[in-house]
Amino acid sequence: MNGKVMPSVAIHQEGRPSHPGSRGVRVALYTFGCRLNQAETAVIEQSFRRSGYQVVDIGEPADVVVINTCTVTENGDADTRRLIHRVVRKNPETRIALIGCQAQVQRDKLLQMPNVHWVVGNADKMDFLSILQQGLPEEPVVRVSTIPRTSFTIPVAGIDPRHTRANLKIQDGCDFFCSFCEIPFARGRARSREFEDILREARQLVAAGHHELVLTGINIGTYADNGRTITDVITALMEIPDLWRLRISSIEPTTIPDDILNLMRQESKLCRHLHVPLQSGSNRILQQMKRKYRAEEFAQFIRSVSQKVPGICLGTDVIVGFPGETDEDFAETYRLLKELPLAYFHVFRYSRRDHAPSRHYHPPVDWHTIRRRSRQLRELSARKRRLYYQQFIGRWETVLFEQQKGDAWTGLTDTYIRVKVQSKRRLHNQLLPVRLNRIDGQTMIGTLP
């Protein structure tokens, strides 16, 4: 372990005051897991830039590598280990900071890993800049505090120069305690961001050129701040003049107010896209999972949304191999997903988590069965996506362009269809009408007027 203290000479970058200790220090950041983690990393990265640190890509030599971890599945744990080994192999001098969900629930395990100088849980990770500014410790610094239940603010805007869309964090934590999920332990209980603070960051993100914002959180439908709900947040955000689009990320099925659907059908700035986790189509398994609905209620909800908001893109999550999931349970899930007007689903293999009550459930489903079931669902999802796309052939939709590859540009419709067009013009961050002509895998090929 290197016990040196960071150099303490101030520099100025991008016209902002730098902090003593930031001079020439190269920091790389990497995010595992969900959109919320991405939103938080963007904020932490901005705080480094504003303080004069040099932010570099993860493959480049760095003095400090900050890894924002995820603990939703065992894969998340293995991914962190692999990344650490890759970083250390390339640069044995790098100091590593492990922050976020894994740090919150597995600090002792993480401290065994090479080059780890900081383990910082979710309560403290947004302050990682000030922890780093205290210099390099002789011993690893561990900050894993109890996560407060109060509402919160985020002082720095997560402007993300690499992406067109920006994530906007409005909520954190969860009180639902689904039996398979470690989130209430890793991220604490549900709490909301102060309403005005959300608007302030949103205005800054839009002014910086992010014309599409994605609302993120763990259980955003439970947003509550001084009587304000998620509908109030959406309505206020839609007033921002240069905001073109507002997208809701994952939202629990029992928490979606009708007002949101009405806004979507009015062709407002609110994208016609909802990602509503189902997890299982078997009532027996849903009950074991401690989900808050039965399969028929979920089905009725999805059907009514698809009628109320024509063309809406509805996606879902599903877990295969939950303990005790029989062939019949799986068949019910498969049937339900097949019948419902869903455009795609994300399939997760059940993962036993140390803090989740389901770790005691039996019998485990064998690995081959989990693999077969998840393959079947992935194939079904690909067919459903194609079916969903077909209704758009020949139609004009607006696309917000993001990336260029050769002469081709890609972007998204509000209904989350990735569209590719040929153009020699620079289309980055432009919202343009496109005629959708055909399907090519998970993309639609279109033409500009």
Place of tokens 């409005």: 170
Residues 334-353 that bind ligand SF4 (CB under 6 A): none
Pair 130, 14: CB distance under 8 Å:
no
Rounded least distance, CB 314 to ligand SF4, Å? 18
d(CA 167, CA 45) in angstroms, rounded, equals: 14
Rounded least distance, CB 221 to ligand SF4, Å? 9
- Choice from 174, 205, 340, 412 touching ligand SF4 (CB under 6 A): 174
Rounded least distance, CB 289 to ligand SF4, Å? 8
Applying CB under 6 A, does 77 fall inside the site for ligand SF4?
no
Range list of β-strands (E), 284-343:
313-320
- Choice from 66, 87, 178, 240 touching ligand SF4 (CB under 6 A): 178
Applying CB under 6 A, does 256 fall inside the site for ligand SF4?
no
Torsion angles phi and psi, residue 421, rounded to 5: -130, 155
Applying CB under 6 A, does 100 fall inside the site for ligand SF4?
no
B/e letters for 52-62, b = 16+ CB within 10 Å, e = fewer, are bbbbeebeeeb
DSSP state of 115: T
Residue number, 6 or 174, with CB nearest to ligand SF4? 174
The token pair that represents 164 in the structure block? 């067109």
Residue number, 177 or 367, with CB nearest to ligand SF4? 177
Torsion angles phi and psi, residue 198, rounded to 5: -65, -45
Applying CB under 6 A, does 293 fall inside the site for ligand SF4?
no
Residue number, 183 or 240, with CB nearest to ligand SF4? 183
- Choice from 201, 252, 325, 414 touching ligand SF4 (CB under 6 A): 252
The token pair that represents 205 in the structure block? 């993100």
Rounded least distance, CB 191 to ligand SF4, Å? 13
- Choice from 54, 68, 104, 219 touching ligand SF4 (CB under 6 A): 219
CB atoms within 10 A of CB 9: 11
Q: What share of the chain is helix, strand, coil (3-state, %, to 5)?
A: 35, 25, 40
Give the x-and-dash track for 358-377 against ligand SF4 (CB under 6 A).
--------------------
Torsion angles phi and psi, residue 36, rounded to 5: -65, -45
- Choice from 84, 183, 295, 380 touching ligand SF4 (CB under 6 A): 183
Q: Exposed, middle or buried by CB within 10 Å (0-12, 13-18, 19+), for 295? A: buried
Rounded least distance, CB 185 to ligand SF4, Å? 10
Pair 413, 399: CB distance under 8 Å:
yes
- Choice from 152, 176, 334, 361 touching ligand SF4 (CB under 6 A): 176
Rounded least distance, CB 360 to ligand SF4, Å? 17
Applying CB under 6 A, does 177 fall inside the site for ligand SF4?
yes
In the chain, the amino acid numbered 270 is L
Rounded least distance, CB 104 to ligand SF4, Å? 14
The token pair that represents 162 in the structure block? 């690499």
Applying CB under 6 A, does 396 fall inside the site for ligand SF4?
no
Q: Which residues bind ligand SF4 (CB under 6 A)?
A: 174, 176-178, 181, 183-184, 218-219, 252
